[in-house]
Structure 1
Amino acid sequence: MKNYECLTNDSSLASAIFVPSYIGLDISRFLWISNLTVRDSTGFELVEWLVKKPEWKRMWGRDHFLISGRISWDFRRQFDDLAYWGSKFRFLPESMNMSMLAVEGSSWNNDYAIPYPTSFHPSMDGEIYQWQSKIRHQKREFLFTFTGAPRPENEESVRGKIIEQCRGSRFCKFIDCSEKNCDDPVNVMKVFENAVFSLQPSGDSYTRRSIFDSIVAGCIPVFFNPGTAYSQYKWHLPKNRTKYSVYIPVKNVKEWNVDIEKVLLGIPEKDVIAMREEVIKLIPKIVYADPRGKLDNFEDAFDLALKGILERIENVRETMRKGKDPSIGFADEDHYKYTF
């Protein structure tokens, strides 16, 4: 943010106000403690500080945005009960007037998903072109791969069936992350570079960093729930999901009897090549470039996120100019995003 070329020190000229609060790191200190007052305290302190600033009164916070390196659900505890997870920061009236960028958005309209960081941070266009050329010509030994840990405690998780099918197929490579095989990103990337498709089921939440690691490797993602990508990264991934991914819907895990190997083997080679090329084109859009360098011909994940949030705020500003209520739809809940 500090290297963003459109920063201004005069907040009266600003199109948007960035709130420089590390709320993801902050809540990480308190998520597992039982005192809900302590868990929520810094969120209250932040909004109390914000509303006293002159910038707040211009749009009552609707031109403010912040960023979290944690999923949005960590800030959306709906009840003051220890059985419920997270803080209630995003349900504070002042916070609801702000937009939040997070690695996973919620079903509320004031949360927006941005890509998880990968280990590739190009500093110039040439590094992107070179990498794209490398993975475009990469020989791929496996048809598909799954890199992740099982979720035996979660009966609704499809992971158990995916691991079972992967282990039973000579076309699949399984990397068990519960055995710390995924701590080194080089190990993970080598697997993705050697597979045509990567299976991306939901984990503890809808999304996974693995989606973006696999795209960087030129590996076509296979999704099982719309909340994993399609309803999330609207500024960074194509609206036409069939161009870059495969979708195998799982409505009920216990009744699910799809043979993944047969589905993937049934995709014509020309379609696979077209999807991989689309995935390769996506790489600059989902990586965060090294801020010390400069990309001339590409917009990276940061550029697209800032462009998206500025457009959102401008739409709210236009609503206010027309004398309409800007709160309508701003922080509404929309479960359709996750159910299609």
Structure 2
Amino acid sequence: MPPPPTTTFLLFLLLIFQLLLAGGVSSQDTDLESDCTDRWIHIRHLPPQFNLDLLANCSEYPLFDNFCPYISNHGLGQKTHNSSHSWYRTDPFMLELIFHRRMLEYPCLTPDPNLATAVFVPYYAGLDSLKYLFGPEVNSSFRHGLDLFEYITNVDNPSIWNKNLGHDHFLVMARPAWDFSQPLSNNPPIFGSSFLELPEFFNITALTLEARAYSWQEQAIPYPTSFHPPNLAFYESWVNRVKKSKRTTLMLFAGGGGISSNPNVRRSIRLECENVTSMSTNGTGYAKFCDFVDCSNGICEHDPIKFMKPMLQSSFCLQPPGDTPTRRSTFDGFLAGCIPVFFEEISAKKQYGWHLPEEKYEEFSVFIQKEDVVFKGVKIMDVLMSIPRAEIRRKREKVLEMLPRVMYRKHGSSLGLRSKKDAFDIAIEGTLQRIKSRTEEIAAQHYVLE
């Protein structure tokens, strides 16, 4: 792993961020009023303690990780190799930085909160949560967010919040929502902070890597992958490579776990994969039925080279739940044109409705109930081998069609690539629609009461 950045480098990075923030001029100067109807966003000014200063603490949480190497390139991380243009060692927990940088080039920013449909809060909630999850304030996790609430409601122009009592505010939280959902009554605290349990934030929209099953606050958006193309040519070059890749393996599992003797779907996948390696593939069109990339202990997290080539060679990528239902690997598989196989609906179908519409899941994925695999003897290979080749081709074509929707292109990308809506664009569209609907409903209720 590369050495952590020097203090000088960190200060330089902070300065770059501050210059970008200072340069966040209104798009009202660009004659875009007609294109920006119902799309204006105001970015709240926050002191650096809520974002930039948190980057300087990147090596202070040894139980978590030293995330210093991953804050470069505005959260994309370092390039996988010097000549790379699109591939980075991206840590998904850096989504707050990535999103913030992209917000600064959003075309419909306004300095006037009264003209805005939505208000973005550039708070690095996931990074700030580390002191409650792994750091010195682990026993004060119920306080996470209270300082922010005090600032935006009592210190910095309270009228912005009071206009809609926070219903028009949104932020990004680069961790699963479960990590922010510890009940306030827990004593002693368990793992997690209580940010999303605070009544003060019940009205805010939180964009998280994974949402709870029944929540009115958060909406899941895709995990960042390592692919961030800067222009249309690099994007199309990768898509052409994916299309031409020979799928010599039926199914792939890239991940860890499954070594326990207790019944679970990862264990079943490992055992099946071991058993089918000795089976003859003659006449099947595949060189092997199953491939396994061992990503135990996080060894694949920042090294896409370990899993992208096997994914490119596989027809299906198995996406079993782990500690939580969702996986970054789902989106890595999309990049490789590898058809996802889900074992729980909460793993994706009930999560990413903005980016992967629920009604389209059968068009680009396969679903096998995990209980059928673990307890009823259903073999994954049998299910996949029963799918006609023509249907597999249609599913892969749909995966490639959906690919732009789950990637985060590089900030400052070319105009041609910006014509394709990526994960950021769709997250903003969904947020604006959600907030507009909510504020209109509240206004209608007030009108009836009057």
Q: Whose relative contact order is higher, 1 or 2, with alpha carbons under 8 Å and at least 6 apart? A: 1
Aligned counterpart, 2:422: 300
Structure 2 matches for 1:192-271, cutoff 5 A? Answer: 192-239=311-358, 240-251=360-371, 254-271=374-391
> How many Å separate the matches in 2 of 1:56 and 1:256?
53
Q: Against the structure 1 CA distance between its residues 203 and 130, is the aligned structure 2 distance closer, same or farther, given a 3 Å change threshold?
A: same
- Which residue of structure 1 aligns with residue 175 of structure 2? 70
Aligned-residue offset at 1:180:
5.8
- Shift, 1:179, TM fit: 6.3
- The within-5 A match list for 1:141-160 is 141-152=248-259, 155=262, 157-160=264-267
The match for 1:336 is none
State yes or no: 1:85 paired with 2:191.
yes
Residue aligning to 2:204: 98
Q: CA separation of 1:62/1:204 partners in 2, compared to 1, >3 Å: closer, same or farther? A: same
Return 18-27 or 45-54, whichever deviates more: 45-54
Instruction: From the superposition, tell whether residues 75 and 296 of structure 1 become closer, same or farther in structure 2 (CA, over 3 Å).
Output: closer
Larger Rg: 2
Q: TM-score, normalised by structure 2?
A: 0.69
- CA change 1:188–1:111 in 2 (3 A) is same
Task: Name the structure 2 match of 1:314.
Answer: 436
Q: Could you tell me which residue of structure 1 aligns to residue 240 of structure 2?
A: 133
1:191: which partner in 2?
310
CA distance in 2, matches of 1:255, 1:279: 30
TM-score (normalizing by structure 1): 0.90
**1-structure distance, mates of 2:136, 2:127:** 18
Q: Which amino acid aligns with 2:211?
A: G
Q: 1:324 to 1:206 in 2, by over 3 A?
A: farther
Q: Structure 1 164/213 Cα, relative in aligned 2: closer, same or farther at 3 Å?
A: same
Partner residue of 1:165?
Answer: 272
Partner residue, 2:69: none
Gaps of 5+ in 2: 1-102, 278-288
Which one-letter code corresponds to 2:120 in the other structure?
A: F
Contact 1:224 1:249 in 2 (8 A): yes
Q: Distance in 1 between matches of 2:305 and 2:230?
A: 19
String of CA shifts for 1:170-202, please: whole Å, max 9, x gaps: 310001112665242112101100100000000
Matched, 1:5 2:107: yes
Cα distance in 1, alignment partners of residues 402 and 114 from structure 2: 36
Deviations 1:208-235 (A, max 9, x none): 0000001000000000001110001111
Per-residue Cα deviation, 1:258-283 (whole angstroms, up to 9, x for no partner): 10011000000000000000001111
Q: CA offset at residue 46 of structure 1?
A: 1.1
RMSD: 2.0
Runs of 5+ unmatched residues, structure 1:
326-340
Give the letter for the 1:317 counterpart.
T
Structure 1: distance between partners of 2:261 and 2:136: 23
1:182 is aligned, of 296, 300, 318, to 300
Matched-pair contact (CA < 8 Å) for 1:216–1:283: yes
Quote the offset at 1:130 in angstroms: 2.1
Cα separation, partners in 2 of 1:35 and 1:298, compared to 1, 3 Å: closer
Deviation at 1:292, TM superposition (A): 1.1
Change (3 A) 1:82 1:202: farther
Shift of 1:95: 1.1
For 1:44, the equivalent position in structure 2 comes to 146
Cα separation, partners in 2 of 1:290 and 1:36, compared to 1, 3 Å: closer
Q: Residue 38 of structure 1: CA displacement?
A: 2.5
Matched, 1:112 2:219: yes
Residue 7 of structure 1: how far off its partner (Å): 1.0
The answer on whether the counterparts of 2:132 and 2:139 sit within 8 Å (CA) in structure 1 is no
Given candidates 408, 415, 421, the residue that maps to 1:288 is 408
Deviations 1:222-250 (A, max 9, x none): 00001110001111113221100000012
CA deviation profile, 1:121-142 (whole Å, cap 9, x unmatched): 1222232222222111110120
- Counterpart AA for 2:315: V
Match for residue 17 of structure 1 among 108, 111, 119: 119
SS of match in other structure, 1:323: helix
Matched-pair contact (CA < 8 Å) for 1:36–1:80 = no
8 Å Cα contact 1:8-1:14 kept in structure 2: yes
Check whether the contact 2:320–2:344 (CA below 8 A) recurs between aligned residues.
yes
Residue 29 of structure 1 aligns with which residue? 131
**For residues 41-89 of structure 1, what are the alpha-carbon distances to aligned partners after superposition, in whole Å with 9 as ceiling and x for unaligned?**
3411111222222210011001001101111110001242346321111
The separation in 1 between residues aligned to 2:374 and 2:339, in whole angstroms, is 26
Give the Cα–Cα distance (whole angstroms) in 1 for the partners of residues 138 and 271 of structure 2.
40
